[in-house]
Structure 1
């Protein structure tokens, strides 16, 4: 049986995780190397850690990152580093497809990298199909503001670029566009439609697990309608046209001829905005680099501050030790001074006694005797006197 890959293509915070979890009800296996749930995504991400790492490295080839605007995939494809990373993608997909017939991939970085990945799909003769979630861009922006503190204007531009890339790539391939709010409100009907479009089988037991363990309408913290999007100051005509087309594709309201015509209009919009998006992307990278330099400088300053603090503590300890030593020396000096004083006092008393002795009458009377004794001693006489 030919291997198949189902790819979830959508903007960050647009329902890609919920949609990927729903695909498990259709037999899609996302593997067992998934990023663990976090507070901002408590049900899980359905993102393979190795795939995310490779995608980050692909962005880094151009000095870019996932939240920067204006990512130039065509330029990336011409870089030798891209070919090296594609070789690693080839190895990774062989591992993931080794014991699977139907593998799922989800990473919000993928809409701007699918031409890189699709070359590997074709080389391995793997069938691919695509699921595109559509969520109101203002809802996405509100979620990004909570999680990343992004301004609404930037989030709308990111949504536009990602969703255009997703539709531009998948539009001529096997795909289905799914309304995020519709999936929350009508999960069974939405999944049956997805199964029909993708040629997959609906699994009732897996669906019940999905309802009990994943689907949670309380996780939808923001919901905006089309009127709010049209009225918002950061909206622009190209975004509104793209959002409208995606919503009608999700409702199956666009026929083949209309799809070709409307896709051409959407592509013209993007071509007109591409230079601006690339300029914004360069600004993103410069701001990011400046921010990173600031972080490194703060880290260096903190390290130097810690080093100086350590030196200060060491000097304080040395000072305290020297002061203790000085106090000990002063104590010993006081003892020595006391001993010297006592010795001086004793010496003075001895001198006074000697003076008294010299001045005494007995000393004077016996002076001739002492003189004679010294005389005889000098002649060797009177040793026994």
Structure 2
């Protein structure tokens, strides 16, 4: 086995500050690769996502849920077999090429929230240890941003916010994770960099002043909504507001343990069915070993679902 290598891994719901957090990590001297997604009018400062990783995550989401962008709501009967086969054929090579044979020391993709169980074996096989960073944002702000850019209905955007944040607590909590509030990153960028230095074990100043002056501005945040706005929007999905309140109570810059992360996920699972997930979006059991069993068909019936079948669209 190769010597252990620790990387920064940024994951969280789309439109929740993952790009800002990734840029903060980059300003501290980490390297996310040379083939990053290009800027767009929707994200003019950059996504900081490696295209090979994004392509593989999209392919696995397509196999899991029928939607390569955000994941679709799926029926009860589904099999992870196509996604597992894809992961077995590709993930180990990507991890080796990106993190073992190159100088890449970090990555970012919101889709890791849902797909990480398919990557876990490859990371473990190559002794690559992710230090997980999870930005979070007011769910209604994220949902409205998603609606404005991708025309995803706000109600579905709220469900996707819950599914991604619930999944990241379940799927990426092997060694705990760092929570970052999008609002707090914008309000205190230099303090956020100090938090990241401590979490990642980095020395030196990096280019914090440049990051704060050139990258961050209030125009990154087009929606500012109150707790009452969120409460009204979540009248039919109170678990969304509850999970956001819980993350906020833990607070910006808090490192939560593996056990705490999974306890939050269990407590906020409104259906009480960890195997199915509250919205049926491909969520897997809490414990890594249990996830491996599901992915390998232990105790399940293979072929009991159609990954390409009809599902509710995300927009």
TM-score by length of structure 1 reads 0.66
* Residue of structure 1 in register with 2:295 after alignment: none
Secondary structure of the structure 2 residue equivalent to 1:5: strand
Is the 2:113–2:167 Cα contact (8 Å) retained in structure 1?
A: yes
1:46-57 to 2 correspondences below 5 Å: 46-57=48-59
1:87-166 to 2 correspondences below 5 Å: 87-97=89-99, 98-100=101-103, 103-166=105-168
Higher RCO structure (Cα 8 Å, ≥6 apart): 2
Is the 2:66–2:311 Cα contact (8 Å) retained in structure 1?
A: no
Is the 2:266–2:272 Cα contact (8 Å) retained in structure 1?
A: no
* Residue of structure 2 in register with 1:16 after alignment: 18
Unaligned ranges ≥5, structure 1: 292-385
Please list the CA deviations of residues 79-114 of structure 1 after superposition, one character each: whole Å capped at 9, or x if unmatched: 1552343332221222222232x6211112110001
Secondary structure of the structure 2 residue equivalent to 1:173: coil
CA RMSD of aligned residues (A): 3.3
State how many pairs are aligned: 286
Take 1:75 and 1:111, find their aligned partners in 2: how far apart are those partners? Answer: 19
* Residue of structure 1 in register with 2:171 after alignment: 169
Structure-2 change in CA distance of 1:58 and 1:249 (3 Å): same
Give 1 or 2 for the bigger CA radius of gyration.
1
Q: CA deviation at 1:231?
A: 2.4
Structure-2 change in CA distance of 1:187 and 1:159 (3 Å): same
* Residue of structure 1 in register with 2:233 after alignment: 232
Could you tell me which of 26, 29, 36 is aligned with 2:28? 26
Is the 1:248–1:254 Cα contact (8 Å) retained in structure 2?
A: no
1:177-326 to 2 correspondences below 5 Å: 177-204=179-206, 206-233=207-234, 236-251=237-252, 262-267=264-269, 271=273, 274=276, 277-278=279-280, 285-286=310-311, 288=313
Q: CA deviation at 1:197?
A: 2.3
Unaligned ranges ≥5, structure 2: 284-306
* Residue of structure 2 in register with 1:82 after alignment: 84
